[in-house]
């Protein structure tokens, strides 16, 4: 008796083997209303991972996909195909909305979870001012007018020249600088915070991208290895004092802090420095705690959790996929707020309830765009380059408010009224970065978040973390051999061993760690049938 399969096959793609990183064919299937990526390595067997927890939302997101923009220059050539040619190669489908410069590998923490595999390590690297300037120039050459550069690490605030780096970025046509930090220096060095505050000015915003994972002591100990609650609060207060805007960035892990999402939003709404919250399912690249790829958190899981934890403020339908990257990578909503959470007067209005975001950001089924100017404004808001406090975001929020569907004759000018609320607008971003398990070249090819490397490449963030580029760059920069990092997945336990940095690497039969090799291709490589 023939049986039906228990899944619907929806996509054929390419991925990598999470152990040896060779490129392999992949298939995406819908099963039990969830979306899974499955692939097989000739050497290491079959792998499967959850990529989206809600199949309906996954399929519906396809229409929120806009044509990419071609960057001014490409840094590499097409030779071996995606993801081995990063980048950006001429086959890449999108320009860089956001460029990331990792200024060092050193950190003043040794977090159990760190996609960059950073910490108190003797053999890392730190870039020079000259290198930073060259990286910024590569970004500007590619973008012309660049939108946002993010300084990251390691811990960028412990780099001695970090303020010089900010100055170098601000001296170039780059609209905003983001500083990705654990907040330790911001909590204790007020002169440093003041120096950042001075640099935050019209047309050249500086935003703080502050790791902020929750309020339980356990959350702090398991993600960061230390109870940083007091430090986070002091960092926030110091930022508020000098007028720096802050994004709270939470790494969210299944079974750890997924219950704290509503509380993080609430905390952000109540703090004068905070204008946005970013939720990121823990990226199982680099260093992390053991996990099961089949039950990992995805964007739709986070959306449903937020809606469940704050049903008074959110529904899942308030979040919309971001069309500039691949729409399954990132979802965003904006709120208008008034008052202080917990008080009687406090009010929250998700902007998508005031105008039809779906109609404007639907590039596939909708052929009558209600208003091109509104679409343009919403495009800039539903983008990886959107950060609260930048001029672009402020202007686009005001334009969106002005587009509110309402006659002037009301006697109440609702659009103007809403525009007056946009200075307390609040953004919530949900971003699932890919890891060696979930990597899908379909998404990678349209990625708009790029790592700028010291040798002058722009490498999609998830390729950088998953395919072997991070290890390649670290080896080049430090002169110390770096093996490919392998996810600390429960099912891989027998195949992996410790790296010197706390991450896992493949174990060879003779017990030594494997060597690195970026994306050798084991997929359709032009051979005839045998």
Partner 1 sequence: MTRSEPAADPKGCCAAVYGSDLLALLLGEAYHPGGASLTRRLAARLALASGERVLDVASGRGTSALLLAAEYGCTVTGVDLAGPNVEAATRVTRSVGLADQVRFRRGDAERLAVDSHSVDVVVCECAFCTFPDKPTAAGELARVLVPGGQLGLADVVAVPDRLPPELTGLGAWIACVADARPLDEYVALLAGAGLTTTHTERHDSAVTTMIDQIEARLTVLRLTAADQAAELGLDFARAPAVLAAARAAVADGVLGYALLTARKPGSGPG
359 touches partner 1 (CB under 8 A): yes
Q: Where do the H-state alpha helices sit in 362-434?
A: 372-381, 391-402, 414-419
Q: Closest CB to partner 1 among 41 and 355? A: 355
Query: How far is Cα of residue 253 from the mean position of the Cα atoms in its chain?
Result: 15
Rounded Cα distance, 40 and 397, in Å: 46
Q: Of 132, 121, 131, 129, nearest to 155 (Cα)?
A: 121
Q: Which of 2, 367, 528, 530 binds partner 1 (CB under 8 A)?
A: 367
- 404: helix, strand or coil: coil
Rounded Cα distance, 286 and 486, in Å: 7
Q: Closest separation between CB of residue 87 and partner 1, Å?
A: 36
Q: Closest CB to partner 1 among 43 and 408? A: 408
Mark the segment that binds partner 1 (CB under 8 A) among 81-89, 261-269, 289-297, 417-425. Answer: 417-425
Q: Closest separation between CB of residue 243 and partner 1, Å?
A: 24
Q: Which of 1, 191, 368, 529 binds partner 1 (CB under 8 A)?
A: 368
Q: Which of 88, 325, 336, 458 binds partner 1 (CB under 8 A)?
A: 336
Q: Which of 109, 163, 194, 349 binds partner 1 (CB under 8 A)?
A: 349
Contacts with 286 (C-beta within 8 Å, 6 or more apart), sequence order: 114, 115, 116, 117, 465, 470, 485, 503
Contact present, 111 and 98 (Cβ < 8 Å): no
Q: Which of 123, 405, 423, 498 binds partner 1 (CB under 8 A)?
A: 405
Q: Closest CB to partner 1 among 270 and 358? A: 358
Q: Closest separation between CB of residue 316 and partner 1, Å?
A: 12
Rounded Cα distance, 114 and 374, in Å: 39
Q: Closest CB to partner 1 among 114 and 355? A: 355
Q: Which of 31, 358, 394, 520 binds partner 1 (CB under 8 A)?
A: 358
417 touches partner 1 (CB under 8 A): yes
Residues 181-210, one symbol each (x = binds partner 1 by CB under 8 A, - = not), give: ------------------------------
Q: Which of 343, 407, 509, 511 binds partner 1 (CB under 8 A)?
A: 407
Q: Which of 184, 265, 269, 418 binds partner 1 (CB under 8 A)?
A: 418
Q: Closest CB to partner 1 among 352 and 460? A: 352
Q: Closest separation between CB of residue 274 and partner 1, Å?
A: 20
The sign of the torsion formed by the CA atoms of 379, 268, 114, 199 equals: positive
Q: Of 345, 380, 343, nearest to 361 (Cα)?
A: 380
Rounded Cα distance, 265 and 324, in Å: 25
Contacts with 470 (C-beta within 8 Å, 6 or more apart), sequence order: 116, 117, 285, 286, 451, 464, 485
Q: Closest CB to partner 1 among 277 and 354? A: 354
Q: Which of 202, 230, 342, 411 binds partner 1 (CB under 8 A)?
A: 411
Contact present, 54 and 30 (Cβ < 8 Å): no
Per DSSP, the residues of 443-492 read HHTT--EEEEPTTS-EEEHHHHHHTSHHHHHHHHHH-S--PPEE--BGGG
Mark the segment that binds partner 1 (CB under 8 A) among 81-89, 167-175, 213-221, 354-362. Answer: 354-362
Rounded Cα distance, 528 and 112, in Å: 46
93 touches partner 1 (CB under 8 A): no
Q: Which of 409, 510, 529, 530 binds partner 1 (CB under 8 A)?
A: 409
350 touches partner 1 (CB under 8 A): yes
529 DSSP assignment: P
Q: Which of 45, 67, 144, 370 binds partner 1 (CB under 8 A)?
A: 370
366 touches partner 1 (CB under 8 A): yes
Tokens of 255: 């079974």
Q: Which of 46, 130, 145, 365 binds partner 1 (CB under 8 A)?
A: 365
SS (HEC) of 36-73 = EEEEEECCCEEEEEEEECCHHHHHHHHHCCCCCCCCCC
316 touches partner 1 (CB under 8 A): no
Q: Closest separation between CB of residue 351 and partner 1, Å?
A: 9
Contact present, 155 and 140 (Cβ < 8 Å): no
Q: Which residues in the 442-501 window bind partner 1 by CB under 8 A? A: none
Q: Closest CB to partner 1 among 314 and 461? A: 314
353 touches partner 1 (CB under 8 A): yes
439 DSSP assignment: -
Tokens of 109: 């923490």
Give the footprint of partner 1 on this chain (CB under 8 A): 315, 317, 336, 338, 347-350, 353-356, 358-359, 365-368, 370, 404-407, 409-414, 417-418, 420-421
């Amino acid at each position: 008796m023939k049986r039906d399969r228990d899944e619907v096959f929806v996509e054929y793609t390419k991925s990598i083997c999470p152990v040896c990183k060779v490129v392999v064919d992949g298939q995406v299937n819908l099963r039990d209303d969830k979306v899974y990526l499955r692939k097989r390595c000739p050497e290491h067997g079959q792998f499967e991972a959850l990529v989206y927890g809600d199949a309906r939302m996954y399929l519906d997101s396809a229409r929120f996909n806009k044509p990419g923009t071609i960057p001014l220059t490409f840094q590499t050539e097409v030779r071996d195909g995606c993801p081995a040619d990063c980048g950006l190669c001429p086959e890449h489908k999108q320009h860089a909305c956001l460029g990331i410069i990792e200024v060092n590998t050193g950190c003043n923490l040794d977090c159990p979870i760190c996609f960059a595999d950073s910490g108190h390590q003797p053999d890392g690297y730190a870039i020079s001012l000259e290198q930073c300037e060259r990286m910024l120039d590569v970004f500007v050459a590619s973008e012309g007018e660049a939108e946002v550069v993010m300084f990251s690490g390691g811990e960028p605030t412990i780099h001695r020249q970090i303020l010089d780096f900010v100055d170098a970025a601000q001296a170039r046509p780059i609209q905003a600088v983001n500083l990705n930090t654990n907040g330790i220096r911001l909590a204790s060095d007020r002169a440093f915070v003041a120096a950042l505050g001075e640099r935050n000015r019209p047309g050249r915003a500086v935003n703080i991208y502050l790791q902020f994972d929750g309020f339980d002591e356990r959350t702090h100990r398991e993600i960061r290895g230390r109870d940083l609650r007091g430090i986070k609060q002091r960092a926030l207060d110091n930022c508020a004092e000098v007028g720096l805007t802050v994004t709270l960035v939470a790494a969210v892990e299944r079974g750890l802090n997924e219950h704290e999402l509503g509380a993080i939003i609430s905390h952000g709404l109540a703090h004068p420095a905070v204008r946005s919250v970013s939720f990121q399912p823990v990226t199982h690249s680099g260093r992390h705690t053991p996990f099961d790829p089949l039950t990992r958190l995805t964007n739709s899981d986070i959306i449903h959790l937020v809606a469940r934890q704050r049903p008074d403020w959110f529904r899942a339908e308030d979040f919309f996929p971001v069309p500039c990257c691949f729409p399954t990578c990132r979802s965003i909503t904006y709120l208008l707020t008034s008052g202080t959470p917990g008080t009687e007067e406090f009010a929250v209005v998700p902007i998508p309830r005031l105008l039809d975001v779906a109609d404007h950001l639907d590039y596939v089924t909708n052929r009558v765009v209600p208003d091109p100017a509104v679409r343009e404004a919403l495009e800039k808001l539903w983008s990886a380059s959107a950060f609260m406090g930048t001029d672009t975001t402020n202007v686009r929020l005001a334009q969106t408010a002005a587009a509110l569907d309402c006659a002037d004759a009301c006697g109440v000018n609702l659009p103007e009224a809403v525009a007056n609320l946009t200075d307390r607008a609040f953004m919530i971003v949900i971003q699932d970065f890919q890891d060696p398990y979930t990597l899908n070249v379909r998404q990678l090819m349209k990625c708009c978040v790029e790592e700028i490397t010291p040798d002058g490449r722009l490498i999609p963030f998830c390729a950088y973390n998953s395919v072997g580029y991070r290890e390649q760059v670290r080896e080049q920069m430090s002169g110390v051999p770096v093996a490919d990092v392998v996810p600390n997945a429960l099912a891989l336990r027998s195949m992996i061993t410790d790296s010197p940095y706390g991450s896992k690497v493949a174990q060879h039969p003779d017990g030594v760690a494997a060597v690195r090799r970026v994306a050798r291709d084991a997929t359709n490589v032009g051979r005839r049938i045998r």
